[in-house]
Structure 1
Amino acid sequence: MRERIIYLIQQYYNNRSTREELEELMNIIQTGEQDGEIDKLMQGFYEEIKHDVSAEKKQTKRMLQPAISAEKNDYNKPSVVIMRLWPVAACLCLAIASATFFLLSDHTKQGSEMAVVKKFTDKAEHKYLLLSDSTQVWLNASSTIDYPETFGKDKREVYLKGEAFFEVKNAAESPFIIHTGTVTTIVLGTSFNVKAYEGQEHVTVSVKSGKVQVLKQNKLISTLTKGQETKVSKMNGPDENEEVNNDLVGAWQQGYLSYEEVRFADIISDMERVYNVDITIRNEQLKGVLVITAFSRDIGVKRALEILCKLTAAKLEEKGGQYFID
């Protein structure tokens, strides 16, 4: 077994791993049975490449494909069951993993004025929303969304801070518009994910089906279709378009945390929101390291952090319910 682990780690650090080898390494790490041996080997390889100038780029990208055992169709299973118990929409709470989705429907008439609905989530909380046009929204942790109680005929507009997955009801005469600061996403009928947390460098739009237009400061910068993603800089940095695994778009709904070349610091921010914990990165150099990985939320924050730290040769310390990474 030791020889096999050495081989897998060598392939990993030299960016020569096949998908099967990457998944095998992830499975070994997740079991925890070889933790001591892996720690020694990973640290040894890390020390070797740390002094190798030609390996500098390899230290900033840790390429590891998701080792998810679920079948492809698992991502398409409905995460919420909606039941009509009364003529008025009911509120149904379902426990899913460690989070809960809520079906919320407000029906308060306020004369001729259009009422604005504001919904938000705390850390470790999700909400399911059914809008007046039958558009479905899954709101991720630490997020806020504002929308009118009833949409007008010409357009449907919402304002988002944080992350949400949308399944927009098709209406060619009434575009659906999501405002996230200076970035605007326009659709007619499709399913897609928008991630726009404060403190992160980009607004990320990923399309699962249909077509989406993305604007920055009212200027069209990208038109996306199924399996495509754009990362729009909130400042003056470059915008990035790329192909993505369509099965992983909005996978957080089913309890999977998936990352493709995401900054270590941004992943840690997600961990804090998802698990409602405090995590401090004491090694500043780690913050910019790019990571590609995925794991189930059910493994818990400690195991998730252990995996991330192994991939980046970092050290994890737990003290008083808080986590510190060096």
Structure 2
Amino acid sequence: MRLDRLQEEWNELPHQGIFSEEIKLRMWNNILNATVNRRKNNYRIAMAACAALFISITGYQFYTSLNSARTPEIITQTFTEDIRLLRLSDGTRVWVNENTQIEYPKDFASNERIVKLKGEAFFEVARDTKRPFIISSGNIKTTVLGTSFDVKAYGEIAEVNVRTGKVKVEGLQNTIFLERGYTAVFVPKDKTLKKQKSVILEPEWKKALLDVDGLTFEAVIERLKINHNFTLQYTSENLKLLQVKGTLDTRQGVPEILQTIAFALEITIKPIGNDTYVVSR
């Protein structure tokens, strides 16, 4: 395969918002070494191998333990235009905004669940009355049993915005209890927390990632149609029942999103005009 065509194929893969430019460059160089420079016969296998190798190396670099008696800590760092969805060991889901670092144990303790945050993340905490979920983020500490909320902690800026449930937010000088529709804002001048009405319940950046793990193909399409206008035609009704795993990046256009799904399900989705696509094996 010609080098320019190989480059085109690589650029068309759905890796937007997953890797930084530096990482993608390193992966591309590995692909060249495994294909053009060594004349391997299947560049797609090389791409998958490079990605898997990089993920393994990254996991090693950011998977640490201070000693054998403690549960290993996992550190996730995002970059510019890099938003991720994490699933913690207790079932909690965390949408991590760009330029954010979050640290959490591989397995939580028997009496509490503690994470550390620098940046911004939206939490949907799995309910557990015996183990409070505690987020340490700069000047504030947030404690919940099970709810959904956004935490922002960039330097002196710190705030918590609650979408569902109740949250306790502790600052350097005072403590505030929040319910749906309220925000706690840290005031650097006097080191206190101030309670106020929320402007929005859910940050816009979170909508970039759509959690479709465990949904049927048909259910995923219905969710996409809420914000996009398109039609699918199926060559077999059984295709609707295929199960999707993972997360979709909705910052892509409909064609790119559909090709991401097609790649994952090993099916074909072809456009036939007028925002209509045909789905087949």
Which has the higher relative contact order, 1 or 2, with Cα contacts under 8 A spaced 6 or more apart?
Answer: 1
The TM-score with structure 1 as length reference comes to 0.43
The TM-score with structure 2 as length reference comes to 0.50
